[in-house]
Chain A
């Protein structure tokens, strides 16, 4: 425990400016005149979309900038030390001891060839701040504070032997071992499953409070931040938009950008709309019957078990589950990228050939696949014109000239300027690329689009725009969607029917209002329980509820 009697803010950031300098010497300001204070034991959240400068500011507090960026003005004062004036060796000392950093992906930050203990205690031991024994004892105490299983022995494992959520907490242990005064958390739960997220969040919160550490929490998700932060600083394009206490920001946001962030937050809708009682014609557009499939040469590693699912014309079916639940595998199986071990896929009641190669072009055309990561799903060396005209030429026999005309209309339809046809994908923003990704699926004139987590890599506001576009297209063209996601809040807003998947099985399926209203399956309840609510006392309740549900699920 640190002496908590010190007065005044621990960290004072004043008029911080950070610029990017390109090869030709032009400078762009990416952080513009940011000032804030952090008190000991307090958490300040930096919130904004990608490119808003939130990570750049947090790194600036450590006196660090990414390559190509330069701190061009302002001061950072850590308890009397001018961080930006320090020499590099002094800064390095400061960074390991006084200021520590928890990165977004712990999996990428751990060395898989060393045990966890060796990495957690590395810094205090090599700097001579602690003896090996003392550091190990401290690590063990941190593990138990972070509520990790087997605190006595978990450190002897290697990073691949623990789960993603545990690894993220172990990274926090690494950051906390030298009793830093300032802890920087950069989207520490974004890479985690929703149900794991709240557990990690709760242990971070407890740790910060117990040690009276000051913390900077970087995120794009306002509902998460409401659970841990004392103050919120809203950023847009490197400038401060709004600053206030958490209560104040979430109950009475002043700036319209903050209001937009609030509106786009991943929250459950107040009331789940009842699915319209459509007369569902038989046979349905697409039907999956008794499918079991797996990976490996004999498909011995089962990823899907006894899946039955139907998608009718003009409806959206949400498929929800955590990573490893088999939801993406199901999408790949329907599109023919994977072959089932048993069971089959039926289009309009006719059996589809299992693999892509055996299906006819007419069959392939009906079902299109939209990939999760638009930045890798679009060939960086093809102009949008080529990307979008190819499906038209392939399925509908268009000539290039006709297709080019059609591309212009398509681009307009998805809300992009027509001159984008001559651009390459890397020249677009993430949201624009996702629109192109959708447009490519539309170019085939399909009846069903399988959307694989198409909004999960996007900022909340941009994701909302993509969802709106999906709904417009559905109204206009009568499309069906299979919407694969881990985000139950999103799926409850746009789906008519949903299927909940876990460990390769569908646990519950039906109209969205029935599946998500009590009484529902324990796992569905657990997913629902993991969606943050926009109030500051939600987390503590949610963690207690989660433990009960997990215990019940494990009992099955």
Chain B
């Protein structure tokens, strides 16, 4: 039995045939959220700061589909703009933490020995701080702005990515095909780029999804505590905080952004699980 050569079209078709209804729903939801976030001004019926009614926590109506918030602004419009900010921040944070974490992790694995020991122990020391506490200290002392927020969370996330990337690379570095490249006389850079990276790509892609979810949760948590995104800008975390009062009046206003956070996080997790499951099922088997 000699299988056909892999092509990306074939891979895609294969992946499509593997989709379950649940995974399909999650992927479609994520795509929709990203599109809505990217084109927020087109989708939002009103401006995010526009005060439309004197009534706080107005119930949903024909004009305000999800009702109004504590200042009488449109909850739906603010939700759409909030998703935009949350996703934008989370994406930058995840990319930054990934470049730094994977780069350093592969470096440590490629050189090994003392360099690896020092880098990894340093990383372990960083990991021993509770993430939220570290973030609170840094942001409190530097003041909250997008830049501080992004770099602080990216740095904290980097330590997690570093561990995963290094563990992956260490396992790949001992394979015979890496040894074959070493004995050929290849340099470390070539080996990492051509031998290690392609084999680490699928687990790293999954890790990217998980980190992205954590970044969303982290930003939301900081915003909820008042240290994240600052008004007049708002993200989902800020919205949860602003509208907490609504619960006292029996309105759902604060639950919409909370559900938004939960749904994005769960969808991403389902998608990543599916990705990982597929990649482990794809290992060459001898039957």
Contacts and interface: CB of A to CB of B under 8 A. Distances in A.
A508 to B, nearest CB: 29
A411 to B, nearest CB: 14
Interface stretch (A142-150, A422-430, A515-523): A422-430
B205 to A, nearest CB: 13
A371 B175 CA distance: 11
Given A379-B177, A382-B194, A382-B198, 18 more contacts: A23-B18, A30-B287, A335-B183, A336-B183, A337-B182, A364-B183, A364-B185, A368-B183, A369-B183, A371-B176, A373-B176, A375-B284, A377-B180, A386-B194, A394-B184, A394-B185, A423-B5, A424-B6
B150 to A, nearest CB: 32
A373 B177 CA distance: 10
A440 B180 contact: yes
Contact of B175 (A66, A337, A376, A423): A376
Contact of A427 (B3, B176, B186, B199): B3
Contacts of A30: 287
A376 B176 contact: yes
A339 B193 CA distance: 26
A335 B180 CA distance: 10
A371 B287 contact: no
Nearest to B199: A381
Nearest to A373: B176
Ranked nearest first, the 10 interchain pairs of A and B with the lowest CB-CB distance are A426-B284, A381-B198, A377-B176, A379-B177, A364-B185, A376-B176, A371-B176, A423-B5, A369-B183, A335-B183
B195 A379 contact: yes
A390 B3 CA distance: 25
Nearest to A391: B184
Interface in A422-461: 422-424, 426-427, 429, 440, 444
B284 A20 contact: no
B176 A359 contact: no
A378 interface: yes
B286 A50 contact: yes
B231 to A, nearest CB: 48
Given A337-B179, A376-B176, A379-B195, A364 B184 contact: yes
Interface in A341-365: 356-357, 359, 361, 364
Contacts of B195: 379
A361 B185 contact: yes
B280 interface: no
Contacts of B284: 375, 380, 426
B20 to A, nearest CB: 12
B141 interface: no
A68 B194 CA distance: 34
A90 interface: no
Interface string B247-267: 000000000000000000000
B267 to A, nearest CB: 24
Interface string B212-246: 00000000000000000000000000000000000
B1 interface: yes
A335 B284 CA distance: 30
B2 interface: yes
Contacts of B286: 50-51
Interface string B273-287: 000000000001011
Interface size class of A (residues with CB under 8 A): 35 or more
B9 interface: no
Contact of A380 (B3, B180, B199, B287): B199
A377 B2 contact: no
A361 B186 CA distance: 10
B17 interface: yes
A538 interface: no
Nearest to A386: B194
Contacts of B4: 427
A376 B177 contact: yes
Nearest to B3: A427
A222 B284 CA distance: 28
Contacts of A375: 284
B2 A422 contact: no
A28 B287 CA distance: 11
A438 B224 CA distance: 62
Nearest to A381: B198
A444 B180 CA distance: 12
Interface string A130-161: 00000000000000000000000000000000
Contacts of A361: 185
Contact of B287 (A20, A373, A394, A422): A20
Given A50-B286, A375-B284, A429-B2, A356 B185 contact: yes
A427 B2 contact: yes
Nearest to B195: A379
Contacts of B18: 23
Contacts of A429: 2
Contacts of B175: 376
Interface in B151-190: 175-177, 179-180, 182-186
Q: Which of B3, B4, B177, B186 has the most CB of A within 10 A?
A: B177
Contact of A444 (B6, B17, B176, B184): B184
A460 B49 CA distance: 78
B23 to A, nearest CB: 15
Contacts of B179: 337, 371, 377
Nearest to A444: B184
B95 to A, nearest CB: 23
Contacts of B5: 422-424, 427
A444 B186 CA distance: 13
